[in-house]
Structures are given as C-alpha cells and as structure tokens.
C-alpha cells in the first residue's frame, strides 16, 4: 500500500492554503481564506485540528528525522495510505525511535516521488512539527469553524477562580473546602496520554499548556511512580511548583528565575498538588467526580511519591464562620499569601465561582503603557542620586470600578531593572506584569486607581506561565 492520489490532492490544497495564509498579515483575510477553504474542502479542517490540538504530541521532529536519516542512510517503505496514518502511529507511540525516523523518511520519499515540487513534503513536515508557520492561532481557526457550524478544536483550559468579595459560600448546600493559597508557578502534570512498555507519558506544562523543560527531576519520579502503580487511570495533577530551600522552607520567588532557563535542570523543586482530575474530564473541560473523591485519589497517589519533591495541599472543610476565621488567623500567623475556597463540586475547566481567591493583598495583571524617568536616590555604593526609571504606567481592568484604567507603579522594581529600563524602555513597554495592591480606590483627580501598587512579576510581552 502507498499514499493514494486523493490524499495527495488534499495535501496540495492544504499547501496552497497555508502559503496564502503566510502571504497576509490581516486577521480578516486569514479568516476569509480559512472559511473559503473549509467550505470547499471540509477535510482540510482536520489538519488544523491536528496542528492545534494541545493534547497531541508526535515525539519526533522533522529536523531530527531528516538529519538522522541522512546519517543512517536508511528508510522504511511506508505502508499506510495517508499522512494521518503515520502521525497516528507516532502519537500512539506504536512506532518510536529509529523506526519512527525511518518510517517518516519513507513517507517523505513517497510524497516526493508522487507530489514532485508541489510543496507536499514541506506541508507534511509542518504537520509532524504541528506548526504551519502562518501565524494563525487556535482562537482564529475556532471562530471560522463556529461560523461554519463545524466541530471546533479543543483548547487547553484549567480551573481558575474569582476574587472573593465576602460571600458566605459555606452557607450554601454544596460542601466548601479551604486551603492555603500558594504563590508559586501553576504546574499541571499530564500523565498517561500514551504508554510505552507499560510506562505512561508525563508532560509538565504551565496553565497555558506551555511545556516546562527544567523540571526533569519531577518528571522522572512521576514516571517511575505511575509505572509501578498499576491500575491508576490516566490523569492530570494540578498544583504549584516552588523551590525547596535547605531549611525546608519554600522559595516561591526563586522559582521564577529558574523555570524558563535554557539547558537547565532545577535541583530542588517542590510540587504542591491540590487536585487530581481524570484525563478525560480534563480534556473535556468538565467532569463528574466530586472534589472529595478527587482528593481521596490524590491522597492515594501521594503515598507513592517522594515527599522531598511532592506534597498534597491540605483541605479543611468549612461549615461555619468560625471555621473560616480560624483559617484567616493561620494566614496572619504563618504569613501566607492568602486562602483558596473550593466548592466540592465536579471539575470545571474555566474561570468560575467554584473557586474563590481570598488574599491579604490583591493582585492583577496589567500591560505597561509608559514609564516615568527622573532622579532616584539609591544606597548602591553610598547614598547618591541617579537618573533612571522611577515608575511604570500600566493599563488594567478594574473589578470594583469596571473598565480600563491607568495606574502608576513605582514600587517593587530592583535597581538593576530601573537602570535597564531607563536605557532600554522597549524591554518593558507592552510587557504584562502582575501588580500587588491593597485595594481599588479613587485618586486625587477623581479617577479609579490602585492603592499601594507594587510590581510582583514581569511576564514579558506574552503570558506563558
């Protein structure tokens, strides 16, 4: 068997569409091109579902496959009918290692022979790499699919909470649980998307689905534990990661400096897990298993994990105002970031009132839209005054005072940051930052603002964690 002509025709059409998408920077034109192509060739939508599927992985890149094939000098006759056949074999881990490289090389040879210089080889490699390189995101494609009444691409969504405004949620019929609010980096361990020799795959990703490459020690221990625990279903562990200091305390700020470093392995990570979600429920964005049962499953899993690297965030059932006051007292006593209130309902993968964030200090995200420069007094090497960035102006969305507002953030910047952004303002402008503040208020000019704003985290031009 070999790649058949009808499939080659689809690949020709896909290649033409992708090239047309690359030729325009207009989102409107990109939507029009997709709508026209999906209407004429509905099958093309499936290729975009593959490329944009956040839960899919092929475990092979075109660069590695081609490079190793040149060194190896070998290929395997491809016995499937479509590129889908090859990709599904890779995604399911039925073909791995050198066999995968040779299979893919054999497929490319067939496409080159039958497709000539039509671009089908290049588009096949784009499918393998899950990147059409045409600056079209999942959101844009889904808008087109919804308009056409077609099945949309599943998206990566996690459970997020709303700010608590004093609601007595524990007085409702649904059980409510309370835990310490952590200040680390959200980490999801996706376990069992595929299996190889009985060992489940483990992906460690951020809340937006971006992979973390610095947490190899956590990944190794999760693979070992789940390989030995037969009967555990594919699942997702949800929590936050920090650094564990020699004195046993957590370093939530230090993790920010190491988590995205290249070619680096964090030596002392600690993963605080607060939820267990069956993989199918996480992928669907909602489930049936109540929080109490998910916690029981998480507790069982923790028994098989190294306590030097993994902990379970303890949940206290809140029944009365006194129960909640007791937890608030712990926040002050232990200097916690705050509390999390969770309803004992089934999993819901979106921002909802199933979860409330109760904080001593509030925080929000804003975009830097300007900076203020001028004299700044520093004790760096003796008291002196230097010229640097004294504050940044952010644009944020208000809660108490709805709408988009502007606020000056002058505290929390390090001296090095003030010097750097004074010389290179483009490095901070348009960046997304998290700002900690006491409350929303009205300034002396009668405009909404923030009281005591302090920069907490600089995320960069795009939020990835």
Tokens found for residue 240: 């936050």
Average pLDDT of the chain, as a whole number: 89
CA distance 213 to 354: 31
Burial pattern 411-443, b for ≥16 Cβ within 10 A else e, equals: ebbeeebbbbbbeeeeebbebbbebbbeebeee
Between 118 and 54, the higher pLDDT residue: 54
CB 440 within 8 Å of CB 447: no
Question: Where is average pLDDT lowest: 74-88, 113-127, 302-316?
Answer: 74-88
41 in helix, strand or coil?
coil
3-state SS, residue 226? helix
pLDDT at residue 344 tops 90: yes
pLDDT digits (tens, 9 = 90+) for 169-181: 898 889 999 999 9
Lowest mean pLDDT among 75-84, 258-267, 393-402: 75-84
Token pair in block for residue 460: 């960069």
Phi, psi of 425, deg, nearest 5: -60, -25
Q: Tell me, what's the pLDDT at 1?
A: 41
Burial of 384 (0-12, 13-18, 19+ CB in 10 A): exposed
Coil vs helix vs strand at 25: coil
User: What share of the chain in percent tops pLDDT 70?
Assistant: 92
CA–CA separation, 335 and 360 (whole Å): 9
Of the chain, the percentage scoring pLDDT greater than 90 comes to 57
* pTM exceeds 0.85 for this model: no
Predicted local confidence at residue 398, as pLDDT: 92
What are the beta bridge partners of residue 236? 190, 277
Backbone angles phi, psi at 441, to 5 degrees: -150, -175
Tens digits of residue pLDDT in 368-413: 999 999 998 886 656 688 999 999 999 999 988 999 999 999 888 8
* Token pair belonging to 431: 């960046």
Maximum distance among all Cα pairs of the chain, rounded to whole angstroms? 79
Torsion, Cα of 148, 151, 152, 158 (10° steps): 150
Residues whose CB falls within 8 Å of the CB of residue 201, separated by 6 or more in sequence, listed in order: 57, 93, 190, 191, 192, 193, 194, 195
- Please enumerate in sequence order all residues whose Cβ is within 8 A of that of 252, keeping only pairs 6 or more positions apart, or say none: 182, 183, 184, 242, 243, 337
Distances (CA, A) of 385 to 92, 375, 423, 425, 454: 62, 6, 16, 20, 22
Q: Which domains does the chain have, with CATH numbers?
A: 5-148 (no CATH), 160-359 (3.30.470.30), 362-460 (2.40.50.140)
210-244, pLDDT tens digit by residue?
A: 899 999 999 999 998 888 775 678 999 999 999 99
CA distance 258 to 256: 6
The answer to whether residues 186 and 158 touch, using CB atoms and an 8 Å cutoff, is: yes
Q: Is residue 72 over pLDDT 60?
A: no
Distance in angstroms (rounded) separating the CA atoms of residues 452 and 458: 18
Region of 233 (left: φ > 0; alpha: ψ -120 to 50; beta: rest) is beta
């Amino acid at each position: 068997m070999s790649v058949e002509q009808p499939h080659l025709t689809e690949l020709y059409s896909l290649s033409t569409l992708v090239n047309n998408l690359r030729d325009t920077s207009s989102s409107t034109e990109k939507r029009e091109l997709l709508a026209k192509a999906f209407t004429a060739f509905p099958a093309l939508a499936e290729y975009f579902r593959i490329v944009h599927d956040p839960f899919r992985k092929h475990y092979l890149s075109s660069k590695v496959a081609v490079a190793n094939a040149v060194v190896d000098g070998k290929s395997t006759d491809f016995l499937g009918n479509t590129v889908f056949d090859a990709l599904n074999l890779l995604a399911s881990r039925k073909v791995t290692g050198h066999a995968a490289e040779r299979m893919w090389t054999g497929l490319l040879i067939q496409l080159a022979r039958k497709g000539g210089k039509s671009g089908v080889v290049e588009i096949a490699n784009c499918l393998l790499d899950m990147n059409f390189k045409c600056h079209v995101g999942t959101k844009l494609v889904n808008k087109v699919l919804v308009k056409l009444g077609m099945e949309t691409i599943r998206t990566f969504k996690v459970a997020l909470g709303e700010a608590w405004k004093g609601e007595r949620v524990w007085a409702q019929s649904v059980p409510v649980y309370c835990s310490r609010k952590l200040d680390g980096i959200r980490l999801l361990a996706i376990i069992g998307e595929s299996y190889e020799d009985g060992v489940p795959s483990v992906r460690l990703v951020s809340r937006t689905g971006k992979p973390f490459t610095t947490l190899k020690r956590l990944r190794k221990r999760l693979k070992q534990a789940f390989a030995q625990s037969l009967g555990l279903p594919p699942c997702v562990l949800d929590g936050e990661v920090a650094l564990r200091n020699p004195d046993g305390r957590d370093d939530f700020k230090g993790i920010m400096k190491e988590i995205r470093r290249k070619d680096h392995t964090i030596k002392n990570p600690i993963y605080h897990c607060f939820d267990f979600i069956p993989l199918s429920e996480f992928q669907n964005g909602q489930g049936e298993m109540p929080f109490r049962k998910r916690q029981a499953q998480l507790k069982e899993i923790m028994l098989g994990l190294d306590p030097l690297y993994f902990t379970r965030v303890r949940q206290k059932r809140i029944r009365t105002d006194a129960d909640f006051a007791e937890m608030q007292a712990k926040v002050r006593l232990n200097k916690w970031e705050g509390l999390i209130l969770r309803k004992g309902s089934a999993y819901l993968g979106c921002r909802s009132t199933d979860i409330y964030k109760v904080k001593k200090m509030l925080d929000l995200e804003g975009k830097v839209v300007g900076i203020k420069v001028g004299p700044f007094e520093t004790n760096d090497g003796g008291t002196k005054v230097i010229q640097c960035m004294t504050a940044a102006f952010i644009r944020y969305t208000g809660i108490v005072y709805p709408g988009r507002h502007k606020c000056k953030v002058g505290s929390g910047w390090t001296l090095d940051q003030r010097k750097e952004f004074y010389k290179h303002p483009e490095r901070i402008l348009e960046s997304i930052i998290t700002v900690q503040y006491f409350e929303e208020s009205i300034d002396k000019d009668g405009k909404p603002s923030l009281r005591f704003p302090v920069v907490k985290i600089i995320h960069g031009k795009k939020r990835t964690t």
